[in-house]
Structure 1
Amino acid sequence: MSQEEFTERMLKIVGGFSDPESDHGDADDLMVKYLREQGLHEAMDAFEGMTKWYA
């Protein structure tokens, strides 16, 4: 996905009137997907292995 598409999707998550906990998870998922597409697989494996306090 392009930087523009990433930004558009993130702004859509931020601009929604959903549950903040759910929105944070959606934002994390989007960031992980984007950063994996950029080749940062090992870093995203580490991130996804962390305990999340909001989940």
Structure 2
Amino acid sequence: MFGIFKKKSEREKLNERYKKLMKESHQLSTTDRSKSDQKFAEAQELLTQLDNMEKENS
């Protein structure tokens, strides 16, 4: 009816996880640079997966 019960696609899940990791990375950048870099690297891997998914759909 209003999309309440609509399941998220794999792309939407990856995009939300990417945003969460980038936010965590930014927050950690002021306190623990190595953890921040680790979160950023994870986010970059997700971005690569998202790009690959987009290329496959094109």
Structure 1 length as normaliser, TM-score? 0.51
Alignment partner, residue 48 of structure 2: 32
Structure 2, unaligned stretches of length 5 or more?
A: 1-9
User: Where do 4+ consecutive residues of structure 1 move more than 4 Å?
Assistant: none
Q: Over alpha carbons, which structure has the higher Rg?
A: 2
In the alignment, the residues of structure 1 paired with residue 51 and residue 19 of structure 2 have an alpha-carbon distance, to the nearest angstrom, of 17
Alignment partner, residue 37 of structure 2: 21
Q: Is residue 28 of structure 2 the alignment partner of residue 12 of structure 1?
A: no
Structure 2 length as normaliser, TM-score? 0.49
Q: Note if contact 2:14-2:50 (Cα within 8 Å) is conserved in structure 1.
A: yes
Structure 1, unaligned stretches of length 5 or more?
A: 41-55
